[in-house]
A = this chain, B = another copy of it.
């Protein structure tokens, strides 16, 4: 399920999940499984990318700083300036690790992607 191309500047979170992610040379890298939202200010901090996995068992999720994603209306998906290898080797976590306490992994993520922290 891809995000519909429309005049709308907004998208429902439920539609972001499932949207394909491509790199800048058009390779399909995976898809957005979920987004992590800052509870207080309502800013999306991470796209959680997934890469399939058998029935989701043992699947590892890759949080990618939202600032790296650009929505591309032509492809109907998000573009990230990353090659496939960089993304596959990125820090990844199980679902419970991800959702329990982001302070345990966010430093590692922002350091890996060399992106300023969302919380500063």
Contacts and interface: CB of A to CB of B under 8 A. Distances in A.
Interface of A: 3-4, 6-17, 34-40, 42-46, 48, 66-67, 69, 71, 98-103, 119
Report whether over half of chain A's contact residues are helix, strand or loop; otherwise say mixed. mixed
B40 A12 contact: no
Contacts of A46: 10
Contacts of A3: 39
Nearest to A15: B99
As for how many copies of this chain the complex holds, the number is 2
A109 to B, nearest CB: 12
A9 B118 CA distance: 11
A43 B44 contact: yes
Instruction: Output the residue of A10, A71, A98, A101 with the most chain B CB within 10 A.
Output: A10
A54 to B, nearest CB: 21
Contacts of A43: 42-44
